């Protein structure tokens, strides 16, 4: 019976006294030893009752990390580096926050249930680039540091502190990585379920209280209904306040109250709590640069994922999410100047101690991003100058190439003209020579014919006289026939000679003209080919140079408008080159 009483006492201590995990582990070891001792005694009556001597609720599986004093002090500061911790370590830090604020003690919360609840919280955050469990821890740690920095426990009740911490932990549960605007435009199940009214924030609340509905994770199970209702209503109000669509409304309401703020007024306190959780939700720029800047990269990555999906689905794309338009400095400057600084400066009116720790880092962050923007603008101007110089260089090259092509074309034309003139002159000279030859030949033939005729006539006369005198009439006739035949033979020979000379002259002229024409055509063809090749090479070189410039501008400097202008200039230049080529070919 003594062993049974000790076992019952230990179980009661585990369940009701809220011992820390290390002590619980010790209790479990003691229970295990007692169990082994009882089994060795063969207590049959105990075994017959089939009672399991284990705690009704096992301690969760993640290991307990013992936080050093240095870590405990750093955890209270807004400068805490949230990137150095693994999920199990962050769970331990969250657990420490609840203990350090006295919430476990004051509300008699079972630390084992708290641990189970935190595990459920961790499991219900998705692995998004930004809205993940680390973001949950980041917001919760900032809320914890603000409670410590601004001594909020002196201004608020412990229930208010519990609401602030619990809302910070639960504020982005099961976030899908796509914001309310996408949910509404895409008509998702969440948007339909919540009638386009803060669908994500309503979903976060629903998931949070679904977890609380699980007996093993409901750390409010022993609260009375009125207190639980107050916590539920307060948590829902704060989570819904994180919708940035309501930012202006909430901040304007707080600005109206801040100058006459009354910590005894419930409406004023509720408005302050809404602003506080908003400050924590978007407080990354309060942290040091090496902690804050990776969050910007994560947020832009999530934005770009959404904008890519919106483009693929044909949905409207917000300019601040478009990877082709936004840069890190432009994204942050406006957000810090017009959202963060005004809100933190308004809260600073109630808590002046925030200026040095939170507001001043915001101003420094704004100045740093403005310097980065100036550097980017200067680089853009340099790139513009480089692009302009490249364009001018390309245009000059195109102009020079066109001039060269024109000169080549003119030279070809001059050569053709000279060749044609030479051909014409040669042809004319040959024709004149042929004509002279023909004329000479004809003159010679005529002279020969005349001489022959005279000789024939004389011969005929002599022969006639001789024949008359000597042979009589028969001989005369024969002589006349012979003379006539000789004259005809001579005339035929002269005619043939003349025809041969004329034919030879004409053939020579034709051959010379054909050769000259062939030479001219070859020269013209070669000249045109040279012009076309030069122009094509120039165009290719220009296109390659411009493509390289455009790629550099797009990949390195993201100068899309400039690249478009350069492409237009190149297109015009290529068109001009093509026209010149066509003209040259013509």
In whole angstroms, give the CA distance from residue 380 to residue 400. Answer: 29
Q: Is the dihedral of CA 145, 250, 306, 303 positive or negative?
A: negative
In whole angstroms, give the CA distance from residue 158 to residue 164. Answer: 10
Query: Does residue 135 have an active-site annotation?
Result: no
- Return the number of other C-beta atoms located less than 10 Å from residue 167's C-beta: 31
Write the DSSP symbol of residue 67. -
Q: CA dist 485 to 456, 482, 488, 492, Å? A: 10, 5, 5, 11
Structure tokens at 468: 């008359």
The set of residues, in sequence order, having a beta carbon less than 8 Å from that of 191 and lying 6+ positions away, is: 180, 183, 184, 199
Q: Is the dihedral of CA 174, 180, 182, 187 positive or negative?
A: positive
In whole angstroms, give the CA distance from residue 45 to residue 53. Answer: 14
| Pick from 287, 281, 358, 356: nearest CA to 79 | 287
In whole angstroms, give the CA distance from residue 399 to residue 577. Answer: 9
Label residues 121-131 b or e (16+ Cβ within 10 Å = b). bbebbeebbbb
In whole angstroms, give the CA distance from residue 550 to residue 568. Answer: 11
Q: Distance of alpha carbon 264 from its chain centroid, rounded? A: 53
Q: CA dist 418 to 141, 307, 429, 460, 465, Å? A: 93, 69, 16, 61, 68
Active-site hit among 99, 122, 131, 204: 131
| Pick from 153, 57, 145: nearest CA to 105 | 153
In whole angstroms, give the CA distance from residue 88 to residue 78. Answer: 21
DSSP 3-state of 193: helix
Residues identified as active-site: 131
């Amino acid at each position: 019976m003594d062993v049974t009483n000790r076992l019952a006492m230990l179980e009661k201590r585990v369940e009701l006294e809220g011992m820390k995990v290390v002590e619980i582990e010790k209790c479990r070891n003691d229970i295990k030893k007692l169990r082994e001792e009882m089994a060795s005694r063969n207590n049959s009556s105990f075994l017959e009752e089939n009672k399991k001597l284990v705690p009704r609720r096992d301690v969760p599986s993640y290991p307990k990390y013992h936080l050093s004093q240095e870590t405990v002090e750093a955890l209270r500061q807004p400068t805490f580096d949230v990137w150095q911790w693994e999920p199990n370590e962050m769970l331990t830090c969250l657990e420490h926050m609840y203990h350090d604020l006295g919430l476990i003690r004051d509300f008699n919360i079972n630390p084992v249930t708290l641990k189970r609840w935190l595990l459920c919280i961790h499991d219900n955050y998705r692995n998004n680039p930004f809205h993940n469990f680390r973001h949950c821890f980041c917001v919760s740690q900032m809320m914890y540091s603000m409670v410590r920095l601004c001594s909020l426990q002196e201004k608020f009740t412990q229930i208010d502190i519990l609401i602030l911490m619990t809302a910070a932990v639960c504020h982005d549960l099961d976030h899908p990585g796509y914001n309310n605007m996408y949910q509404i435009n895409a008509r998702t199940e969440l948007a339909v379920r919540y009638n386009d009214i803060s669908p994500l924030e309503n979903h976060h609340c629903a998931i949070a209280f679904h977890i609380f509905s699980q007996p093993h994770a409901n750390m409010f199970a022993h609260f009375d209904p009125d207190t639980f209702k107050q916590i539920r209503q307060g948590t829902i109000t704060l989570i819904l306040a994180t919708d940035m669509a309501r930012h202006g409304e909430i901040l304007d309401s707080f600005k109206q109250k801040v100058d006459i703020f009354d910590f005894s007024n419930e409406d004023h306190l509720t408005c302050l709590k809404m602003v506080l959780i908003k400050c924590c939700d978007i407080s990354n720029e309060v942290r040091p640069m090496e902690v804050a800047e990776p969050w910007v990269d994560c947020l832009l990555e999530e934005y770009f994922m959404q904008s890519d999906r919106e483009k693929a689905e044909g949905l409207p794309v917000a300019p601040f999410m478009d990877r082709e338009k936004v840069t890190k400095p432009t994204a942050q400057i406006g957000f810090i100047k017009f959202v963060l600084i005004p809100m933190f400066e308004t809260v600073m009116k109630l808590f002046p101690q925030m200026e040095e720790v939170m507001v001043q880092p915001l101003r420094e962050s704004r100045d740093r991003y403005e310097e980065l923007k100036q550097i980017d603008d200067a680089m853009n101007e340099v790139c513009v100058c480089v692009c302009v110089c490249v364009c001018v260089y390309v245009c000059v090259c195109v102009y020079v190439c066109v001039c060269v092509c024109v000169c080549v074309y003119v030279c070809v034309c001059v050569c053709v003209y000279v060749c044609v003139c030479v051909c014409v002159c040669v042809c004319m000279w040959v024709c004149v020579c042929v004509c002279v030859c023909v004329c000479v030949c004809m003159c010679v033939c005529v002279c020969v014919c005349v001489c022959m005729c005279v000789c024939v006539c004389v011969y005929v006369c002599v022969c006639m006289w001789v024949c008359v005198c000597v042979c009589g009439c028969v001989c005369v006739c024969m002589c006349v026939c012979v003379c006539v035949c000789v004259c005809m033979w001579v005339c035929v020979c002269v005619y043939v000679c003349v025809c041969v000379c004329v034919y030879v002259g004409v053939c020579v002229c034709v051959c010379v003209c054909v050769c000259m024409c062939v030479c001219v055509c070859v020269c013209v063809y070669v000249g045109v080919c040279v012009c076309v090749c030069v122009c094509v090479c120039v165009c290719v070189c220009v296109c390659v140079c411009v493509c390289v410039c455009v790629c550099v501008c797009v990949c390195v400097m993201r100068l899309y408008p400039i690249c478009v202008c350069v492409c237009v200039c190149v297109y015009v230049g290529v068109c001009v080159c093509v026209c010149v080529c066509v003209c040259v070919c013509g």
